[in-house]
Amino acid sequence: MTLDAITLEVLTEALISVVREMRATVVRTARSVAIYEAKDFSCGLFDPATQVVAQSEDIGAHVVPLPWSVQSAMTLHGRDLAPGDVILMNDPYRGGTHLNDVTVIYPVFEGDRLIFFPAVREHWPDVGGAVPGSMSGTATEIYQEGVRIPPIKIIERGRINQAALDLLLANMRVPEERLGDFHAGLAACKTAERRIRELCRRYGVETLLAAVQQNLDRSERRMRAQLARLPDGDYYFEDYLETFRDGRLEPLLLPLKLTIAGETLTADFTGASPQVPVPVNSTLAVTAASVFITLKSVFDPAAPLNQGSFRPLTVIAPEGTIVNVTPPAPAGSHGEIRKRVVATMVGALSQVAPELVAGDLCRTSFHNLIGGWDPTTRREWVHYEWSSGGNGGFAEADGPSAMATIDWGDLTTVQPSEVLETRMPLLIDWSRLAPDSGGPGLSRGGLSMERGIRVLSPSATYSLLSDGAILPAFGVLGGEAGLPVASAVERGGRRLEFETPGKVGGFQLQQEDVVLIRSAGGGGYGDPLARSPESVAADVREGYVSVEAARDRYGVVLGPGLTVDAAATAKRRQELAAARPALSAVQDDAVWRLHGYSRYRLARLNPADAARFGLDEGDVVELYTPRAAPLRAWVTIERGVAAGTLPLDVTGTRALQVEAGGKVMLRLLARAASARSALPAAREVA
């Protein structure tokens, strides 16, 4: 059946409207602040082939991986599904994200024919495990992260499996909230069922399903047309996730080879670090979804999202690695893997379509968890805080500050103080944008958010699962990095800092402790010395950039009244440009070091060059050119390296878009490659 354009559009929008009504149902009926206030949930419609056919303002990080969950449910229950069945699951290894994202899958039948799956994925603020909030930066296996729910029929032929539900809730904190959230998801699916039946009665099942297929097909055609415009070839980029051993950073490599061939694209993560007993792993569903989200955002952002856009794409993620985790390794870092996959995609695409990409986004989902027992209300409580960071600058404008990133949909990124203080024994001392946190550039990266959260109950615990505490969001095309994440606890006038920044598990808090948190800033776009001096001065007047940063990073000298001193600015910019460390690239494959499960790139420097640039053994630097995104490398000082040269392997020269003999610039990121590298930045949060 071929539909006319008007009928196709009406039915496409009707299905999107069904999803919007599902969302409204969840917001009005959920019990958790994280769901009804912060909107950490998503809804979608899927066809019997498990393809996403409609979504609305939902979180891409939820919806795009959902087909893997629906497929897992169908594999287990597809042959005996019946009207009235409802499936509940959160298992990361079976297409989930992390354990907190609990999914309700609701088959809809027309007679005995399965026609749709409405589904709701909600972030339940606690699903059991070692710490309140279930996400611990020190988890070593998934059992410490909460209750793992395989696809189970929580309702069978209309009858709830009360024993199974009781068992689950008995192992979760604040079970009455969890029960309310479950019923909110169920109510949303029932709403979708009613609206789907109305559409079937009005248009007929065959017409409705034909509209679904034609909409998927046209989305596929749009994506193929976009890919066909790109130059064929292989493009390489790499990034790292952070782990620590004995208080020192041990980075985990995430390499990407992006292959464009005609109308198709393959993202190959072969070579990614093996999975580790640290919360830096995630699933194939998350990895593939992150590739899809990036490409949809870059090449086809205006059209509604559905599975058709992803048909020309292939993702290779070897099993047993940090991007395709297997039991029993922890899998809670879906936000960190997702944002790192997005980062590698941005880095590779900066070599293909630099005008369409932005600086790296805020590096992490920044999961802060505070919870305990409130003797006043005699109830458990859990607060899930994810203060949003900065987005990357892009060709047309500066990056948004403290704003949702491309994978977050309409998630509320600054949770209201009034709600938190009403529902929990907390006091929000302050919330503000962090000055100098956005990466300098022709277009500045967005600023991060700082918050002080005072604990009013006698005792509680604090956990943090994040990344990017040492390696910040990178800039592109010469843009600089943003500020890394940081957290600390202020107690009685003293500042307590964590040996492993960005990763905390069950730290004991006392009454009147203040948890200090700072999200990450976005990366800059383009050379900061090319930014309009008036724009820099305006940033200083707004408090976004300090006078010192204006002078030392943008080369803008301000006079009385924070006005631009044009002559001094021109001179200062010439000085900064001339002082940039630069070396000539030479071909050499010996640029990697292995240490345990860590593999990382070396910046091999002659002693004279290291001394000239003020660099020491083990410092972390960025290698960059004005043509692409930078690579991160660890300084090693070797007399055998010729002065004035920088050894690079083939992937390094491709990533930096530099030929042998071409100039590569260096920029210091962190000293000595230890966990302590992050602490000076953390102290700025006061």
Model's pTM, two decimal places?
0.93
- Residues ≥6 apart with Cβ < 8 Å to 359: 346, 391, 392, 393, 394, 399, 439, 441, 443, 445, 473, 474, 475, 476, 479, 482, 522, 523, 524, 525
Q: What is the mean pLDDT of residues 569-587?
A: 97
- Using the predicted structure, report yes or no on whether residue 676 has a pLDDT greater than 50: no
Q: What is the pLDDT of residue 246?
A: 79
Tokens of 462: 């604090």
Q: What is the pLDDT of residue 628?
A: 95
Residue type, 120: V
Percent of the chain with pLDDT over 70: 98
- How many Å apart are CA 331 and CA 231, to the nearest integer? 36
Could you read off the pLDDT of 347-399 as tens digits, one per residue?
999 999 999 999 999 999 999 999 999 999 999 999 999 888 999 999 999 99
- How many Å apart are CA 508 and CA 505, to the nearest integer? 9
Q: What is the pLDDT of residue 679?
A: 31
Q: What is the pLDDT of residue 686?
A: 26
Could you read off the pLDDT of 401-440 as tens digits, one per residue?
999 888 887 788 888 999 999 999 999 999 999 999 999 9
Start and end residues for every CATH 2.40.40.20 domain found in the chain: 582-675
Residues shown for the chain: 686
How far CA 632 is from CA of 157, 393, 421, 520, in Å, comes to 55, 19, 41, 17
- Strands (E) across 213-340 are located at 233-245, 248-261, 264-268, 313-316
Tell me whether the omega of the peptide bond preceding residue 328 falls within 30 degrees of 0, making it cis. yes
- Residues ≥6 apart with Cβ < 8 Å to 147: 90, 99, 127, 128, 129, 168, 171, 172
Residue 74, φ and ψ in degrees, nearest 5: -70, -40
How do strand 108-110 and strand 486-491 relate by DSSP bridges? unpaired
Strand, helix or coil at 517?
strand
Per the listing, tokens 């941005």 go with: 346
Nearest in space to 122 (alpha carbons), one of 166, 183, 54: 183
Nearest in space to 337 (alpha carbons), one of 345, 68, 517, 415: 345
- Residues ≥6 apart with Cβ < 8 Å to 286: 61, 65, 97, 334, 337, 338, 341
55 vs 533, higher pLDDT:
533
- Using the predicted structure, report yes or no on whether residue 684 has a pLDDT greater than 60: no
Query: How many angstroms from the chain centroid is the CA of residue 55?
Result: 20
Q: What is the mean pLDDT of residues 225-252?
A: 93
Q: What is the pLDDT of residue 163?
A: 97
Q: What is the pLDDT of residue 673?
A: 54
- How many Å apart are CA 197 and CA 106, to the nearest integer? 14
Confidence of residue 209 (pLDDT cuts 50, 70, 90): very high
- Using the predicted structure, report yes or no on whether residue 59 has a pLDDT greater than 50: yes
Count H helices and E strands in the chain, helices first. 16, 28
- Conformational region of residue 153, where left means phi above 0, alpha means psi within -120 to 50, and beta covers everything else: beta
Confidence of residue 683 (pLDDT cuts 50, 70, 90): very low
What letter does residue 660 receive in the DSSP assignment?
T
Residue 176, judged by CB atoms within 10 A of its CB (0-12, 13-18, 19+), counts as exposed
How far CA 590 is from CA of 237, 343, 385, 594, 649, in Å, comes to 18, 25, 43, 12, 7
- How many Å apart are CA 163 and CA 153, to the nearest integer? 12
Residue type, 170: A
Could you read off the pLDDT of 90-104 as tens digits, one per residue?
999 998 899 999 999
Average pLDDT over the chain, rounded to whole? 94
Could you read off the pLDDT of 244-274 as tens digits, one per residue?
987 788 999 999 999 999 999 999 999 999 9
**What is the fold, at CATH topology level, of the domain defined by 582-675?**
Barwin-like endoglucanases (2.40.40)
Sign of CA dihedral 311, 315, 319, 322: negative
Confidence of residue 675 (pLDDT cuts 50, 70, 90): very low
Provide the β-strand partners of residue 462.
Answer: 370, 507
How far CA 669 is from CA of 301, 328, 392, 408, 581, in Å, comes to 33, 34, 18, 28, 13
Q: What is the pLDDT of residue 359?
A: 97
- Using the predicted structure, report yes or no on whether residue 306 has a pLDDT greater than 70: yes
Q: What is the pLDDT of residue 680?
A: 32
Sign of CA dihedral 32, 36, 37, 40: positive
Strand, helix or coil at 523?
coil
Q: Which of 17-31, 156-170, 532-546, 589-603 has the lowest mean pLDDT?
A: 589-603
Q: What is the pLDDT of residue 681?
A: 32
Residue 299, φ and ψ in degrees, nearest 5: -105, -20
Residue 82 near residue 64, CB atoms below 8 Å: no
Number of neighbours of residue 93 by Cβ within 10 angstroms? 19
Per the listing, tokens 């709600």 go with: 419
Percent of the chain with pLDDT over 90: 89
SS3 breakdown of the chain: % helix, strand, coil, rounded to 5? 30, 25, 40
